[in-house]
């Protein structure tokens, strides 16, 4: 059995064989594809800017149609102000769109577009179900957790979706055993581009929000992890394995960082993989406690008074600072 296969099997066991991580439930039925038009005035002959604004207004129109379709006109109209922020960021809910027609009128100085817009079903369920106004869209507490890991036992050049990081498997297992509903990476690898995930891990909150809304998770946990190996001078053949993990917890609903933390751990072993598994297990245990407390505070706080940016200070020695995320 090759080292790569052994490593994969051990990580699978660490993650609970893939049986511990429930998938997000199906969304309520709602029409997600709409044909919409929008016309805006052109200022200073800037038709490019005008068309972008028209497309943005068309997205809002498509999202409003979906809401009215599901809620009914009277209920939506009575509560429209509660959806102001959702409509203002309608582009987050757009899965795809195509131009049916686009007309720039130099006489009337207007730009008009006709689009066919398809919305993400999970995005609607996640954001709108928590308002309490849309019955049928479940008020779920889902988490997506994705870690970019540099490991001494993994092969160089592998893509983000090609392997399951040890650190991610350990964190997912710990959160799941604590009762958190974690969306598995296998369920989204074909729907979220690798570039989007890596940009989010590097600190792009907008991409993190898109991932959360797309997969139906109101919380997105992203991070970096690495391991390093030092030979023990006192015990020849034995190694000290040090592992580091840094994570950010992002609210897809609020588009804000909820918490962040870095930590590390070490283990001694003659076998590098065994030492790495032990060290990652230790540090993931410490970070899991922090994540569970952060999630609890966020979910239990009233929506209007959530303490966003509740960032815990890093330990005294933080080999992987938060700025590296």
Q: Locate tokens 């006192």: which residue?
A: 234
Q: Could you say which of 3.30.450.20, 3.30.70.360, 3.40.50.410, 3.30.1660.40 is the CATH number of the domain covering 33-123? A: 3.30.1660.40
**Among the ranges given (38-42, 148-152, 258-262, 321-325), the one the predictor scored with the smallest mean pLDDT:** 321-325
pLDDT digits (tens, 9 = 90+) for 245-301: 999 999 987 888 999 999 999 998 888 888 888 999 999 999 999 999 999 998 887
Strand order across the beta sheet in which 33-41 lies: 33-41, 110-119, 94-105
Which range of 64-68, 97-101, 139-143 scores highest in mean pLDDT? It is 97-101
CB burial of residue 109 (10 Å; 0-12, 13-18, 19+): middle
Contact 265, 282 (CB under 8 A): yes
As a whole number of angstroms, the distance between CA 258 and CA 256 comes to 6
- Among 103, 137, 143, smallest CA distance to 120 is for 137
Mean pLDDT of 165-175: 91
Mean pLDDT of 172-181: 89
pLDDT digits (tens, 9 = 90+) for 37-58: 999 999 999 999 999 999 999 9
The per-residue pLDDT of the chain, averaged, comes to: 79
Give long-range contacts, CB 8 A cutoff, 24+ apart: 12-18.
12/164, 12/169, 14/166, 14/169, 14/170, 14/173, 14/277, 14/281, 15/164, 15/169, 15/170, 15/172, 15/173, 16/173, 16/176, 18/184, 18/186
What's the DSSP call for residue 298? H
Mean pLDDT of 55-72: 87
* DSSP strand pairing (181-183 vs 142-150): parallel
What is the band of 319 on the pLDDT scale with cuts at 50, 70, 90? Answer: very low
Mean pLDDT of 67-92: 81
Beta bridge pairs of residue 15: none
What CATH number belongs to 3-25+140-324?
Answer: 3.40.50.10610
The domain limits of the chain are 3-25+140-324, 33-123
What confidence score (pLDDT) does residue 321 get? 41
- Among 180, 315, 183, 210, smallest CA distance to 260 is for 315
Asked whether residue 305 carries a pLDDT value surpassing 70, the answer given is no
As a whole number of angstroms, the distance between CA 106 and CA 318 comes to 60
Strand order across the beta sheet in which 239-251 lies: 181-183, 142-150, 219-231, 239-251, 256-269
SS (H, E, C) 74-108: HHHHHCHHHHHHHHHCHHHHEEEEEEEEEEEECCC
Asked whether residue 79 carries a pLDDT value surpassing 90, the answer given is no
């Amino acid at each position: 059995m090759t080292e790569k296969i052994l490593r994969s099997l051990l990580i699978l066991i660490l993650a609970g064989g893939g049986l511990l991580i429930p998938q997000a439930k199906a969304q309520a039925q709602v029409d997600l594809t709409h044909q919409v038009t929008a016309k805006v005035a052109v200022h200073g002959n800037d038709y490019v800017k005008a068309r972008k604004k028209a497309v943005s207004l068309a997205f809002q129109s498509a999202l409003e149609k979906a809401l009215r379709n599901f809620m009914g006109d009277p209920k939506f109209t009575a509560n429209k102000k509660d959806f102001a922020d959702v409509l203002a960021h309608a582009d987050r809910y757009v899965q795809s769109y195509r131009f049916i027609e686009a007309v720039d009128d130099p006489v009337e100085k207007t730009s008009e577009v006709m689009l066919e817009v398809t919305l993400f079903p999970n995005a609607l369920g996640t954001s709108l179900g928590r308002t309490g106004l849309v019955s049928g869209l479940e008020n779920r507490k889902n988490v997506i957790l994705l870690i970019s890991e540099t490991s001494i036992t993994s092969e160089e050049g592998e893509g983000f979706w090609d392997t399951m990081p040890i650190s991610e498997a350990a964190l997912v297992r710990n959160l799941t055993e604590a009762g958190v509903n974690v969306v598995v990476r296998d369920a989204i690898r074909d729907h979220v581009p690798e570039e989007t995930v890596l940009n989010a891990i590097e600190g792009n909150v907008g991409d993190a929000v898109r991932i959360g809304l797309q997969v139906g998770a109101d919380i997105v946990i992203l991070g970096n992890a690495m391991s390093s190996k030092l030979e023990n001078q006192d015990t020849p053949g034995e190694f000290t394995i040090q592992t580091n993990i840094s994570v950010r917890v992002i609210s897809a609903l609020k588009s804000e960082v909820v918490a962040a933390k870095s930590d590390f751990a070490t283990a001694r072993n003659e076998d590098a993989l065994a030492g790495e598994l032990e060290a990652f297990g230790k540090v993931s245990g410490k970070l899991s406690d922090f994540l569970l407390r952060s999630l609890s505070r966020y979910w239990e706080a009233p929506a209007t008074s959530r303490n966003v940016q509740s960032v815990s200070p890093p330990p005294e020695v933080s080999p992987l600072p938060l700025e590296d995320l």
